[in-house]
Amino acid sequence: MKVIIHPLFVYILIAILECLPYTSNKFVLHEMPKAGDNFKSPENSAIFYYNGKGKYSYSSPECFFKLGNPPFQTSPDDGGIKLIDTQIVENIPFLGDLCDEKKAQSVYSRAKSPAYQKYLSTNYLLDNFSDLSHIVFYTLWSLSLMFYFRENKNKIYLTFAICFLGGIMLEFVQLFFIEGRNASFEDEELNCLGAVMGILIYWILLKSKKSLKLK
């Protein structure tokens, strides 16, 4: 238990999670997609399905996965999203929104992959839980630091400074050494928010403990 709540252990856990590589399909094809392909332009995040006559759009990630598609980082050879030249994508006729269930039943024909596969994808986690994870893990780290420095009168300043500098260091590691990851000022803001929340939670718990002792 002492190891698990130690600030160094918590920081190592954060570093491992923040340094997961984000893979992407960077190879751009200068050819028409084949019927049944999912594809997108490298200049736009919109994902389309090609039925041989035109393109249908997925209006949301939920719609994309509901129709049985594999995780975003899956190779195009294994049914993933193809990157198609922007000019070609723009010239393919748009036929509608694939998230209309009746329309999907009539035009959609892809092999279904198990729904749980998307949850096992690191890209899915990074796409959907990145902001939340920054706040949660820096709150835990902040709590751990506050407990570790509990006898130090400057524990609040030490805790915030360490969380701030530790977050910046990991952002630089992501920028220069981790494939597909970038430094983000917004992520550092979330780190600081988590640190402040941890300090407040520790302070509330401490006050509650003192109050109970007085009673």
Q: What is the pLDDT of residues 40-82, one digit of tens each?
A: 998 888 999 998 899 999 988 888 888 888 877 777 777 788 9
Q: Report pLDDT digits (tens) over 125-152.
A: 555 557 888 999 999 999 999 999 999 9
* Beta carbons of 53 and 95 less than 8 angstroms apart: yes
Average pLDDT value for the chain? 83
What does R_g of the chain's alpha carbons equal in angstroms? 23
Percent over 90 (pLDDT), the chain: 43
Residue 147's identity, in one-letter code, is F
| pTM of the predicted structure, to 2 decimals | 0.57
3-class SS of residue 57: strand
Instruction: Give the residue carrying structure tokens 């002792």.
Output: 213
Measured distance CA(153)–CA(149) in Å, rounded: 8
Which residues of the chain form beta strands (DSSP E)?
28-29, 38-40, 47-50, 55-57, 82-84, 94-97
